[in-house]
């Protein structure tokens, strides 16, 4: 049986605040295997493409600015039921609504600067993983 994959980014605020280690520890302790990982910085064009689905939203400019202001950790994660379980682990988009113990509850500052990304479907996980990694970088 195929094991599911999801895609994540530890966003610029997580890197700036020195939270990479703590967040990765939480992810691996929750049973996710790291399939691909790197420190990288998105260009404005990259972020506009990655978040194209939100380009009509009032916060789009702010989102692109935030996501390009410094490096991120991009990673592909593997686990049974990866997409849904990872969304549960990170918590609600707005940390004020996120459950206790979730990554966003622990590390996010606001609905905009919310520490981590998690894919919302298997289809988007594959698209987003391929956006950041070549086949040779996936294990």
Q: Which tokens in the block code for residue 96? A: 């004020």
> Minimum distance between the CB of residue 139 and ligand IDP, rounded to whole angstroms?
25
Task: Please calculate the CA angle 106-102-26 and round it to the nearest 5 degrees.
Answer: 85
β-partners of residue 7 are: 76
Burial of residue 79 (CB within 10 Å: 0-12, 13-18, 19+) is: buried
Report the residue number, 121 or 139, with the smaller CB distance to Mg ion: 121
CB nearest Mg ion: which residue? 120
Only one of the segments 44-52, 64-72, 94-102, 116-124 lies at the binding site for Mg ion (rule: CB under 5 A); that segment is 116-124
Concerning whether 117 is annotated as a catalytic residue, the answer is yes
Whether residue 115 contacts residue 17, with contact meaning beta carbons closer than 8 Å, is answered with no
β-partners of residue 117 are: 9
Q: Which tokens in the block code for residue 20? A: 């990479």
> Minimum distance between the CB of residue 90 and Mg ion, rounded to whole angstroms?
10
Residues near ligand IDP (CB under 6 A): 54, 59, 62-63, 93, 111-112, 114, 117, 120
Report the residue number, 37 or 115, with the smaller CB distance to ligand IDP: 115
* Residue 114 annotated as binding site: yes
Q: How far is CA 84 from CA 5, 25, 121, in A?
A: 10, 19, 8
Report the residue number, 81 or 94, with the smaller CB distance to ligand IDP: 94
Contact partner at residue 93 from Mg ion, ligand IDP, none, CB < 5 to 8 Å by partner kind:
ligand IDP
Annotated binding site: 11, 59, 87, 93, 104, 114
Q: Catalog residues that contact Mg ion under the rule CB under 5 A.
A: 120
């Amino acid at each position: 049986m195929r094991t599911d994959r999801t895609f994540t980014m530890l966003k610029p605020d997580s890197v700036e605040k020195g939270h990479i280690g703590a967040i990765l520890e939480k992810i691996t302790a929750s049973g996710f295997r790291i399939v691909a990982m790197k420190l990288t910085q998105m260009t404005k064009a990259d972020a506009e493409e990655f978040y194209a689905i939100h380009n009509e939203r009032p916060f789009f400019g702010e989102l692109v600015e935030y996501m390009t202001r410094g490096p991120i950790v991009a990673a592909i994660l593997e686990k049974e039921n990866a997409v849904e379980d990872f969304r549960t682990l990170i918590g609600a988009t707005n940390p004020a609504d996120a459950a206790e113990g979730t990554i966003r509850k622990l590390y996010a500052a606001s609905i905009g600067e919310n520490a981590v990304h998690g894919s919302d479907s298997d289809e988007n996980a594959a698209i987003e993983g391929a956006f950041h990694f070549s086949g040779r970088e996936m294990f």
